[in-house]
Amino acid sequence: MANSTTIKTKLDRDLTPESFIKVKTFLVGDLSAWLYFSDGLVDQSSLNEFVIKPLVDATHVEFNSTTDVQNTLLSIELVAEPDVDTAIMAVYNGDSLLYIDGFSEVILINAKKYPTRAVMEPPTSTVVKGSREGFTEDVMTNISLLKRRLKTPHLKFIFLKVGKQSQTTVCISYLETIADNDIVDKIKTAIDAISIDGVLDSSYIRAYLQENKLSIFKQVGDTEKPDILTAKLLEGRVAVIVDGSPLVLTLPFLLIEDFQSAEDYYSVPHNASFLRVLRFIAMLIGVFTPGMYVAFEIFHIQFIPLRFLLTISTAIKGIPLTPNVEMLFTLFVFEILNEASIRMPKYVGTAMSVVGGLVLGDTAVQAGIISTPTILIVALSGIAAYTVPDARNTISLLRLVFLILAGTFGILGLIGGTIIVLFYLVKLSNFGVPYLAPYAPYVKNDLKDGLFKSPLPVANDRPQSLFNKNKRRLLWKS
Amino acid sequence: MEKLDTLVSSRQLTVFFLLVAPLTKFLVLPSLLFFTASRDAYIVVLCYLAIDIIFLALMLDLVKNDKRTLSEILTDAIGTVGKNIVFVILGLYFLLKTLMPVLEQALLSHNILYESSPSLALVIPIFAVLCYGGIVGFKSSFRTIELLTMLFAFGIVTMILSAMFASDVQGIFPVLEYGVSPIIKSLFSFSLWFGDFVILLPLLGNIKKVKHTTRNILIAFTIGMATVTVMYIIILGIFGVLAPRQLYIITKVSKYSVALSNLGRVDFLFIAINLVGMILHTTILFTSMVYFFHEALKINKTIISWVISILLLVFTMMYLLRFKAITNIVISAFSYFVLAVQYIFPLIIYALAKWKKALGAIPEKSDEQTLKTKSTGKQQPINDKQSPVATAISAEGGAE
């Protein structure tokens, strides 16, 4: 236990105005007291009203230890901290530190208050029907949104601090009666092992939770919506909530999740099934169409029906570029436009669309640099990729790879590339769960929520592909 | 290549025998069989069905009643040296089994699929798949086959439907016009394209069994071979005496389909689908080759046996491509070797497994106590917690 001189020296050394720390000095009885807090992270009126005022007014109390202080300040959350270094870190994290001269420990007071964004509908997961609440950057707000949906003592939270400089709060959440303990432990161990200066977003943590670090395929799920997260926790998954990020991570992740949308569960199953199959076909169109078109045009003219071939040959007449270079160029322009329109402010983004889509495209065709079928194919492929927004980047990369393969080897390049990607995907696993389950390997029970969705009362069991303690989801009341 | 534990499920094998194994019999083989056996080519297929189903049943009996790997069966019976010799021979056999489909696919691509074909460099994507398949192992190939089940079913059904309406089944008559000798000659010459049961050899002791494994696989195999027979009859009905001249018959069967004639050559779609199946089949054969060389040479690093296998395949292929009648060379030079390894080796292996067991020399093992690993044969305790997917698959069928 440190003596009072050492404590005061440490506090004055580490909690300085240069670090935006304020100090209020006042008397508690005959003793000098110092209140340290980080300006901007604390509600100063609460400190004045519930800490300074009661202590200054308590002239009849003899303060000999932190217990006396705790007995006096009943209206605010506080805790005695014997370790000064820990207490100093807590001040930078928003806690206030009270030190009374002669005491051997300090007191940490929770009077945090900082600006947060309101709960609103996340732009990445808008729905026509269903909840419109979205996570914010504040971890406590996110936890409260979750707790409001799962009113059970089995909902557990493990808090960790990650980032040497940022000291970011990372919270692992799971339902202890359903989630597998081993997976929770593995995630905790993986996060504990992270040694990094700062964690600015959940994507920093995601990079460490991916079993295959170099993969272009997403291996950690994410959501901005509490209703989706609740459903995933109920299936036995584990959530990782990171302070400062509205994107909550979920594990283990299966590829099929990219084709599922929150709205699927709020509409009739037939409609949900139709939309899921549509997304899947759109994904195939997004990945393969440019490659197939180029392969057909260069190597397999005989694949194209005659009348269609005549139309194409008229359109491509006089184009100076080879089909694969033409397609690569157009895709490249498309990606530039896409990137620019996302980064631009909304009003400029609209102008960008007009300039890019209409002026640039039309001019390029009229100038005879690119053909109309190429623009059509790129547009179709680009739009199709947006039906699976979470996999858009992966689709873009695969599209490029397959285009190069098709332009070099034709249909065999496409077939070979597809098989190699499938080999890779069927081998990929995520915390012991095969990435392509329930299709490879085939798990009959989980097909009820695969590409085709069964009505909710039929899906009695939790996904068997996942590790979970309690397989049964639905029990009928007799 | 990864360890073979909890490797291939019986469902994956069922799909393989039902939908993938038949595909390899639709490229060059029909014209060869029609050339040798004339109208009775389909009878040759039926004969192979009858022969192969017996061998498949024997292999499945080993799968069901003997939990040892092939390496363990042979080591127990003839010692390590004997096992290594057998494995080298099996490796060479699988080299031939791999070689022929690769050549067929390359020549199909070169002659039919490409309007303006650059060169035989087209074979590079097929080799890339084989190489990657050899690294990732059996599990990836079989899981991919399982994943594409519906696609393969679509490919085969569309192929049959697009051809059958243009076919005159009366073409099969008269039966046995030239007696049985062409059939017997065909049986001796074309065994390389049959004997699909051999893929069970490297998988012995590593097949996840569920209820009715044996029955399901036998039924799947029968249906698969019946499909081949039906297709041969359809081909005969379409092309008649010209059938032997149709070298890549799969690309020609739908030529006369009225339904497809207005849509262009959309039949190339199911040709592409079937090509996927053929490449996957070849990958499994190549992976078997890597497995046998790896087990025989006992090199620590699998990559070395993998490189040896690739080099062997490339050099053999380059050597054979110098000749025009590659198929004839393979058939005439290697048919007896193929026959011996394909049909005598499995019999001997079966007899050795049963003989040693009957003598009581091999202690009985149970799934609950041990799980075998591929390369070392060391016993490992099964983890208390099984993969949830494995549990789910078991729960669907229960133990046989």
Indicate if the pLDDT at residue A440 is higher than 50: yes
Lowest mean pLDDT among A109-118, B131-140, B331-340, B365-374: B365-374
A161, HSE (Cβ side, Cα atoms, 13 Å):
9
Per DSSP, the three-state class of B9 is: strand
Q: What is the pLDDT of residues B64-94, one digit of tens each?
A: 888 888 999 999 888 899 999 999 999 999 9
Structure tokens at B10: 């019986």
Partner-chain contact B264 A308, CB within 8 Å: yes
Partner-chain contact B268 A434, CB within 8 Å: no
Structure tokens at A460: 């009695």
> Helix B267-297 vs helix B302-320: angle between axes, to the nearest 10 degrees?
120
Query: Are B195 and B55 spatial neighbours (Cβ–Cβ below 8 Å)?
Result: yes
Query: Are A397 and A425 spatial neighbours (Cβ–Cβ below 8 Å)?
Result: no
For residues B384-392, give the mean pLDDT: 46
* Residue A99, φ and ψ in degrees, nearest 5: -130, 130
Which residues make beta-bridge pairs with A155?
Answer: A175
CA distance A297 to chain B (A): 10
Q: Would you give the distance in Å from CA B108 to the centre of its chain?
A: 19
Instruction: Please report the pLDDT score of residue B367 as a whole number.
Output: 46
The DSSP result for B290-328, as a single string, is: HHHHHHHHT-S-HHHHHHHHHHHHHHHHHHHTTSS-HHH
For residue B398, name the pLDDT band (cuts at 50, 70, 90): very low
As for the ipTM of the complex, it is 0.87
Q: Which residues of B216-243 are buried (b: 16+ CB within 10 A; e: fewer)?
A: bbbebbbebbebbbbbbbbbbbbbeeeb
Partner-chain contact A409 B141, CB within 8 Å: no
Q: Mean pLDDT highest for which of A229-238, A426-435, A440-449?
A: A229-238
**Those residues with Cβ within 8 angstroms of residue A347's Cβ, 6 or more apart along the chain or in another chain:** none
For residue B119, name the pLDDT band (cuts at 50, 70, 90): low
Instruction: Please report the pLDDT score of residue A430 as a whole number.
Output: 85
For residue B358, name the pLDDT band (cuts at 50, 70, 90): low
Query: Are B284 and B146 spatial neighbours (Cβ–Cβ below 8 Å)?
Result: no
Instruction: Please report the pLDDT score of residue B363 as a whole number.
Output: 55
Query: Are B309 and B167 spatial neighbours (Cβ–Cβ below 8 Å)?
Result: no
Chain B residues in contact with A443 (beta carbon < 8 A): 389, 392-393
**Those residues with Cβ within 8 angstroms of residue A174's Cβ, 6 or more apart along the chain or in another chain:** A155, A156, A184, A233, A237, A238, A239
Query: Percentage of chain B with pLDDT > 90?
Result: 34
Q: What is the pLDDT of residues A81-106, one digit of tens each?
A: 889 889 998 898 889 999 998 888 89
CA distance A99 to A90: 14
Check the CA dihedral A271-A272-A273-A274 and report its sign.
positive
CA distance B86 to B107: 32
Q: Could you tell me if A451 lies within 8 Å of chain B, comparing CB atoms?
A: no
CA distance B210 to chain A (A): 13
Indicate if the pLDDT at residue A293 is higher than 70: yes
**Those residues with Cβ within 8 angstroms of residue A52's Cβ, 6 or more apart along the chain or in another chain:** A24, A26, A35
CA distance B228 to B23: 8
Partner-chain contact B122 A416, CB within 8 Å: no
Query: Are A423 and B136 spatial neighbours (Cβ–Cβ below 8 Å)?
Result: yes
User: Cβ atoms within 10 A of the Cβ of B208, count?
Assistant: 20
Q: Which residues of A275-314 are buried (b: 16+ CB within 10 A; e: fewer)?
A: bbeebbebbebbbbbbbbbbbbbbbbeebbeeeebeebee
Instruction: Please report the pLDDT score of residue B392 as a whole number.
Output: 46
Choosing among A415, A433, A447, A470, which should be mutated to test the B contact, i.e. which has the most B CBs within 10 A?
Answer: A415
Instruction: Please report the pLDDT score of residue B93 as a whole number.
Output: 93
Query: Are A95 and A113 spatial neighbours (Cβ–Cβ below 8 Å)?
Result: no
Indicate if the pLDDT at residue B400 is higher than 60: no
Would you call the peptide bond into A438 cis, given omega within 30 degrees of 0 as the criterion? yes
Query: Are B75 and B213 spatial neighbours (Cβ–Cβ below 8 Å)?
Result: no
Q: Which of A309, A427, A441 lies nearest to residue B389, judging by beta carbons? A: A441
Report the chain B residue with the minimal C-alpha distance to residue A437. Answer: B389
A368 or B221: whose pLDDT is higher? Answer: B221
Indicate if the pLDDT at residue A14 is higher than 60: yes
CA distance A66 to A61: 13
Instruction: Please report the pLDDT score of residue A315 as a whole number.
Output: 86
Report the chain A residue with the minimal C-alpha distance to residue B389. Answer: A465
Using only C-alpha atoms, chain A has a radius of gyration, in whole angstroms, of 29
CA distance A422 to B143: 9
Instruction: Please report the pLDDT score of residue A171 as a whole number.
Output: 94
Choosing among A235, A312, A419, A443, which should be mutated to test the B contact, i.e. which has the most B CBs within 10 A?
Answer: A419
Instruction: Please report the pLDDT score of residue B368 as a whole number.
Output: 42
Q: What is the pLDDT of residues A157-195, one digit of tens each?
A: 999 999 988 889 999 999 999 999 999 999 999 999 999
CA distance A470 to chain B (A): 12
Q: What is the pLDDT of residues A249-260, one digit of tens each?
A: 999 999 999 998
Structure tokens at A156: 């557990």
CA distance A265 to chain B (A): 24
Q: How far is CA A58 from CA A105, A157, A310, A336, in A?
A: 20, 38, 95, 67
Structure tokens at A415: 């077939």
Indicate if the pLDDT at residue B47 is higher than 50: yes
Check the CA dihedral B372-B376-B377-B383 and report its sign.
negative
Q: What is the pLDDT of residues A127-161, one digit of tens each?
A: 888 888 999 999 999 999 999 999 989 999 999 99
Q: Which of A303, A309, A441 lies nearest to residue B393, judging by beta carbons? A: A441
Report the chain B residue with the minimal C-alpha distance to residue A420. Answer: B129
For residue A69, name the pLDDT band (cuts at 50, 70, 90): confident
Q: Mean pLDDT highest for which of A6-20, B139-153, B286-300?
A: B139-153
**Those residues with Cβ within 8 angstroms of residue A16's Cβ, 6 or more apart along the chain or in another chain:** none
Nearest to B293 by CA among B98, B86, B67, B81: B86
Query: Which CATH entry fits the domain spanning B8-397: 1.20.1740.10, 3.30.70.100, 3.30.1490.20, 1.10.443.10?
Result: 1.20.1740.10
Query: Are A86 and A107 spatial neighbours (Cβ–Cβ below 8 Å)?
Result: no
Nearest to A426 by CA among A435, A416, A438, A417: A435
Per DSSP, the three-state class of B166 is: coil
**Which H helix or E strand runs over A238?**
strand A238-242
Report the chain B residue with the minimal C-alpha distance to residue A461. Answer: B392
Per DSSP, the three-state class of B377 is: coil
CA distance A405 to A397: 13
Place of tokens 């070395």: B304
Structure tokens at B31: 């014209």
For residues B326-336, give the mean pLDDT: 76
Count contacts between A and B (CB, < 8 Å).
Answer: 131
